[in-house]
Amino acid sequence: MALHDPPRSGAGIQSGVPLYSDLGLDDALAMVDENALDRDESVDPMALLAYYRRLLPFRSLYTWLNQDLAITRSFTHREFAFTLQNEAYLRYQSFSSWDEWKREVCRLNPSRFEIGPIYSAKPKDRKTLQKTSFRPLERELVFDIDMTDYDEIRTCCSDKSICSRCWKLIAAAVEVLDMVLREDFGFKHILWVYSGRRGIHCWVSDPEARSLNDEARKALVGWTEVIRGSANQAKKVSLGSATPGTQRTLHPSLRRALGNDILGNSGPRGADSPSRGILQKAFYEIILCDQDVFRDSQRWETLLALLPTNDSENVTKLQSRWSASSRTSVAKWNDVLEVASKSPERLRTTWIAALEDIVLQYTYPRIDAEVSKRQNHLLKSPFVVHPSTGRVCVPLDVEQIRDFDPHSSAPTVAQLLRELNRHEAQASSEASPSHKGEWEKTSLKPFVERFDRATAQILREARDAKRST
């Protein structure tokens, strides 16, 4: 994305468009296009403004970023970036309080906003500072998993579309990355946020994660990049070969995710065995059964290309069999396992290594590494609205991600405003609403509460750490 210097306050907004701050709340609601509310594809600017004013939990977001009840540099020196309705992009915005932040969002009514690092000085003052005294100091460690990287695997959808079936690929990736971050790196404060269309973001807020410099981030990300290579390259996982007769040594983290005994993984019961890790289970359930990835010739040719080249005779036999009649992916994988199991002892470990690499290639998380490598990479804030779907980027529990449906589980702005209107119609005789925490009256409530619980844990730990020093 092009990085522009921010224009002076207010510039960059289309002329003729009223400044949103000039409108009263009732004006704003009156201008909401009821027809637009029923279309999920787009977000009416007035609906978005009403969402910012009444529903987006600014205070919760502030506390999460600030990591303290009293305001700190984690908020005041934090960069925010706005994408305005006319696509102008304002970087280096910063605020001295959460309500100032909210006021500015309501004034500019951006289509979305992003969160950047904590700098050595307030980002809005950077032009008055020497270049060397303005640098990023801290930033949550972030990850981005997007369906784009799964187009060569999924068979149910392509391009910008997504369904609950291919979402399962994302869910499997989340389970693995979450486990790696917790068990291998010891991080605790990990927040998963739906990106609003066809992906998911991860924010790690542990102090150790926030203080990682770019070199450390690169190293950490390199470690999670098991799958490498372009779309036209068949083999994307190369973890080394085995010495004949001995099992190759994989990093314990990969071994844990993958499990053992790959040759026995020939059916639902095999996949459920505790000795098979979550990747083998995902491979059986999602890749073979649900997506039936190796149904079409182009994709099973790729599978054949990944089998050991030093057993070409058997690979050719498989090719003849699969060309002769249509077989499901489960049947094809069973054919492969049978060949591998009957392979001579000297080739056995080569087969096992190849099969393990295949499972990894089809199930290990595919992350957009560039997002994670630099402290100053901006990432869309939780609770903003995806401009093309109208869906709110809601935080999700790892346990719920598998059952999440990208078409129905995250509320749209239109839906939330209708809920708010309904609530007000019912409660019209009661005292006037406070216009604070109105998300409580809508289906945004469980998501904000989940977010607040995660923040409360961060605060508790920060307080304990302060006490013990």
For Zn ion, the closer CB: 159 or 430 = 159
For Zn ion, the closer CB: 166 or 315 = 166
Q: Is 146 a catalytic residue?
A: yes
3-state secondary structure of 291: coil
Q: Is 144 a catalytic residue?
A: yes
Q: What are phi and psi of 273, to 5 degrees?
A: -60, 140
Shortest separation between residue 414's beta carbon and Zn ion, angstroms: 24
Q: Is 440 a catalytic residue?
A: no
Instruction: Please tell me which residue in 68, 146, 292, 338 is annotated as part of the active site.
Output: 146
Instruction: Please tell me which residue in 44, 79, 140, 206 is annotated as part of the active site.
Output: 79
What CA–CA distance (Å, rounded) separates 298 from 25?
Answer: 56
For Zn ion, the closer CB: 73 or 299 = 299
R_g (Cα) of the chain, nearest Å:
25
- Interacting residues with Zn ion between 28 and 67 (CB under 5 A): none
Q: What are phi and psi of 140, to 5 degrees?
A: -55, 145
Q: How many residues does the chain have?
A: 469
By CB under 5 A, the count of residues binding Zn ion is: 5
- Interacting residues with Zn ion between 108 and 167 (CB under 5 A): 156-157, 163, 165-166
Instruction: Please tell me which residue in 114, 144, 178, 206 is annotated as part of the active site.
Output: 144
Shortest separation between residue 41's beta carbon and Zn ion, angstroms: 18
For Zn ion, the closer CB: 166 or 413 = 166
Residues contacting residue 395 through CB under 8 Å, at least 6 positions apart = 191, 192, 193, 194, 382, 447, 450, 451, 454
Q: How does DSSP assign 305-325, residue by residue?
A: HTS-GGGHHHHHHHHHHHHHS
Identify the residue whose tokens are 């790892």: 398
Shortest separation between residue 157's beta carbon and Zn ion, angstroms: 3
For Zn ion, the closer CB: 157 or 462 = 157
Shortest separation between residue 97's beta carbon and Zn ion, angstroms: 43
- Interacting residues with Zn ion between 163 and 182 (CB under 5 A): 163, 165-166
Closest CA to 332 of 295, 361, 302: 295
Count of helices and strands (H, E) across the chain: 20, 9
Shortest separation between residue 20's beta carbon and Zn ion, angstroms: 37
What sign for the dihedral angle of Cα 221, 222, 225, 231? positive
Residues classed as catalytic = 79, 144, 146
Give the residues lining the site for Zn ion (CB under 5 A).
156-157, 163, 165-166
